[in-house]
Structure 1
Amino acid sequence: MLTKTKIVDGAAIKKAIEGRDGKLLSSFYTDDALVRVVDRNNPPSKPREIRGRAAISTFWDDICSQAMTHKVDTTIAEGDNLAFMQACAYPDGTKVVCAAMLELKNGLIARQTVVQAWDE
């Protein structure tokens, strides 16, 4: 029996993020994936690093459990790279913007860099 591998693409990312589906998002990563987050609290010289699918699952579960909306505005794919822009909003009107670059390996996310900024 053949096992169907989920292939990560812009439509899949959009569906999972906008649907706040942390479990689906986590399934897009390789077991040894690395997510780097750069923002005000995690500057480029010391980014937050989330290693492995289990830790990434916890990361996405936290984000998806928050009362906020997510909209993926643009996705661009080239070879084994996928980039997307995301806009988020909290109920109090606070906005967040996120740019993400993904490196794919066999159709799954092996490395991801996230740069985000929010209203303060």
Structure 2
Amino acid sequence: MQTLGTVTGTELKRAIEGRDGAALASFYADDAVMRVIDRNNPPSLPHEIKGRGAISTFWKDICGRTMTHRVDVTIADGGQMAFTEACTYPDGAKVFSISMLRLENGRIADQTVVQAWDE
């Protein structure tokens, strides 16, 4: 069983860049919600992932892909955090995202991701 972690910018960066889906999942509250907004999921109908179990499956998929992840900027202010992430697939295709997090008791309670990728 994965020990639950307290999310910090440093730990988040380490987990994302290390493609450690289990560590990433450990940062979420049991009832956390992640919303993904992109070309296929517009703001009026974002893709919602609810609960740490489903979010864990999401991160396992993302971290299982052969690609590099780089967290460039992390900003924290009390119960909020934001970060940017740049990813590159082996064929050179790029993905860029920005995430806004709401934290409760050291865990991610709510996350909104806005992402764009090369097409």
Fold in common (TM above 0.5): yes
Is contact 2:36-2:114 (8 Å) kept?
A: yes
| Structure 2 alignment gaps of length 5 or more | none
Report matched runs for 1:44-59 at 5 Å: 44-59=43-58
Aligned to 2:35, the other structure's residue is in SS state: strand
> Residue 90 of structure 2 aligns to which amino acid in structure 1?
P
Query: Aligned runs of 1:1-120 on 2, under 5 Å?
Result: 6-120=5-119
Distance apart, 1:62 and its partner CA: 0.2
Deviations 1:31-66 (A, max 9, x none): 000000000000000000000000000000000000
SS in 1 for 2:91: coil
- How far residue 81 of structure 1 moved from its aligned partner, in angstroms, is 0.2
Q: Aligned-pair distance for 1:7?
A: 1.9
Q: CA deviation at 1:5?
A: 6.2
Amino acid in structure 2 at the alignment position of 1:25:
L
Residue 51 of structure 2 aligns to which amino acid in structure 1?
A: G
Match of 2:71, as an amino acid? V
User: Structure 1 stretches (4+) deviating beyond 3 angstroms?
Assistant: none
- Tell me the CA shift for residue 6 of structure 1: 2.6
How many equivalent pairs are there? 117
2 CA distance for matches of 1:113 and 1:83? 10
RMSD of aligned C-alpha atoms? Answer: 1.1
Q: Which amino acid aligns with 1:69?
A: T
Query: TM-score, structure 1 length as denominator?
Result: 0.95
Q: Structure 1 regions of 5+ residues with no counterpart?
A: none
For the residues of structure 2 that align with 1:61 and 1:6, how far apart are their CA atoms? 17
In structure 1, C-alpha distance between the alignment counterparts of 2:8 and 2:100, rounded to whole Å: 12
Q: Report the TM-score when normalising by structure 2.
A: 0.96
Task: Give 1:112 deviation, angstroms.
Answer: 0.2
